[in-house]
Structure 1
């Protein structure tokens, strides 16, 4: 089994699609204003957004995007006007993370984990 895609809700797909394109994802399915699918710039994963006009603020969704040059990516995105909740920071679980939110308030974490993503020192053998 392999993770194919993640789908999130949005009250405004135009804003959401623009935000995720700004992060570097490529729009591959345009069924606006109700649905869009984007492709990650690396790997095979896709990310989709569907319209949910009645969605309520929540703290249930966190989306992680990994980049090998996290600090450079954050700098480029800040130059494009993206606001971050936290600067890149080394975490105790051996990942480097920067936190932000999409236009609907979904938590986004840009990170670099390298070998520690799937094989931290405490991995189960």
Structure 2
């Protein structure tokens, strides 16, 4: 039996702002954009992993008001799970992310657990780490 990850989700405050960030900072592209009423689900992808989609949506998209409110609170606090990307050129990726306005949390450095990586926040406050592959 073979299994692979097809989609992962990121909760964001503003889809347009997040699309611009993930496109400009990390080079992802929009592969799908689905609207339903006032909400939308946007799938981002990369040529290096053609079967993987990263779906961005706002806290209340497809959720009850109470659940959306709870998710919004976690997003505001920066308590949602981080994303970890890998790259073959950490310094170039870091420069591209900072040029796109990423809030730097940690500049590229060798970590005690092994990889050389860096960290920043997306416009909604989600932590994004990038490590050198």
SS at match of 2:18: helix
Unaligned runs of 5+ in 2: 61-68
Tell me the TM-score normalised to structure 1 length: 0.80
SS at match of 2:95: helix
Distance, in Å, in 1 between the alignment partners of 2:124 and 2:116 is 24
Partner of 1:3: 5
Q: Equivalent of 1:83, from 82, 103, 106?
A: 103
SS at match of 1:17: helix
Tell me the TM-score normalised to structure 2 length: 0.76
SS at match of 2:49: coil
More deviation in 97-106 or 42-51?
42-51
More deviation in 80-89 or 99-108?
80-89
Query: Which whole-Å deviations, capped at 9, do the CAs of 1:11-30 have from their partners, x for residues lacking one?
Result: 21111111111121010112
Q: Equivalent of 1:43, from 49, 67, 81?
A: 49
